[in-house]
Amino acid sequence: MHYYEQADRAEKSDVRQNSFREAAKYLGLMSKREDAKADDFLNLGRSLLNLADYKNAVDPLDKYLRSTKEPIPRCVGLTALAQAQIGLRDFDAAQKAVDEALPLLN
């Protein structure tokens, strides 16, 4: 989480990229553990999104969504998933994610 938070605050793009790379590395290891939390998957997915690694971002975001039922956190996960799908040029899947997220905002 240290690297993720550091990347999120970084102003320089090279520091940001390096921190997201480190965050993805360690969150990837952490997400393989049985005691991994939903936020670990979300932050791994977001780190990969920031690295434009859309293909690898989809799986942790799916895992996050499977364990998240509250409307606002679910909306955050669906929005991140849609970003990954747009990056993969899977526009139908991205639209489906957005369509699922929109009613959660009411």
Alpha-carbon gap, residue 15 to 17, rounded angstroms: 6
pTM of the model: 0.91
Alpha-carbon gap, residue 73 to 29, rounded angstroms: 23
Summarize pLDDT for 52-88 with one digit per residue, the tens. Answer: 999 999 999 999 999 999 999 999 999 999 999 999 9
Summarize pLDDT for 6-32 with one digit per residue, the tens. Answer: 898 999 999 999 999 999 999 999 999
User: Alpha carbon of 3 to those of 68, 100, 105: distances in Å?
Assistant: 24, 31, 30
Closest CA to 102 of 86, 85, 82: 82
